[in-house]
Amino acid sequence: MGEVREGCRLSELSINEIKQISVAELKELFATHLRASDHLKQPEGLATGIEALDRFLFWGGLPKGALSLFFGTLGSGATSLWIETAARILGEGRWVAWVNGHVPLSPLSLHHKGMDLSRFVSVMAPSDEKRLLWLLQELMSASLFDLIGCDLGSMRLREHQLRKLQKHARQTHTALVFHSIEPIYKGSAASVFSLIAGFEKRRLLIERALHRPTPHSFSRSVNYARFTFHTGDRIGLGTNTFGGSDRQEHESHSLSAPAGAADDTSAQDTK
């Protein structure tokens, strides 16, 4: 390896010189910026309860102080995973909020299934994007909620609106998770999200996760508590898990499931 010219900056080196720099020389160049690993603070996240997913994600769960996007059709399990995460937070005596869209969550139904909703706030979504932006900013400005979920429905926030929310989330240390049927954001707009996850019948696809190689997928045979539809499209907590004692009922979520099995159960999970 060639030696770095004494007193020079990295920006002053040619491409060939940079390619020949050794690790020891890089450490010398950036000595004033380096920190020992035990001095680095792990960014905070909210555990989902899916061990494999939490281990993979840089934050050990859903990122706090950041925006996430879950997308998937009705029955894919996107809302189920959010509610499972919310249940863990509520169990710790912290606050959670949900902005209803096409599929409203019923607090009464969740309460009847054992969830502590004393710190759960459910709000109907406004009729347009400007009012939705205002609502989400107000919820975060309260500095009360660890986790906020928002079903976008047919609405689509613009990139500059998302960046405003990103700034608010960072300032208030809130995990803001959007839900949509399709991956509606691409390019620079998608870069606003620290985490983008797609929920499919047979896998959970991580399309974007900061500091992790993506795309990365998980088999839907991974266990997590499921929530099922009840009368009137209201959502209640179910006690079954994928791969558990009621395996036959949930075979549509296994990679080995027959092609037509999903038709009977896809309407039972939330979005």
Tell me the CATH number at 61: 3.40.50.300
Residue whose token pair is 């059709």: 73
pLDDT average, residue stretch 31-39: 62
Residue 3 within a domain: no
Q: How many Cβ atoms from other residues are within 10 Å of residue 35's Cβ?
A: 8
Residue scoring higher pLDDT (255 or 220) = 220
pTM over 0.75? The answer is no
Work out the pLDDT band at 220, boundaries 50, 70, 90: confident
114 and 237 inside one domain: yes
Q: Say if residue 210 is exposed, middle or buried (CB neighbours under 10 Å; 0-12, 13-18, 19+).
A: middle
Domain total for the chain? Answer: 2
pLDDT average, residue stretch 79-106: 89
Domain hosting 19: range is 10-39
Q: What is the pLDDT of residue 68?
A: 98
Residue 220 within a domain: yes
49 and 24 inside one domain: no
Q: What is the pLDDT of residue 82?
A: 92
| Contact of 213 with 185, CB cutoff 8 Å | no
Mean pLDDT of the chain: 76
131 and 249 inside one domain: yes
- Lay out the sheet containing 120-124: strands in order across: 120-124, 95-100, 145-151, 175-180, 66-71, 193-199, 203-209, 216-219
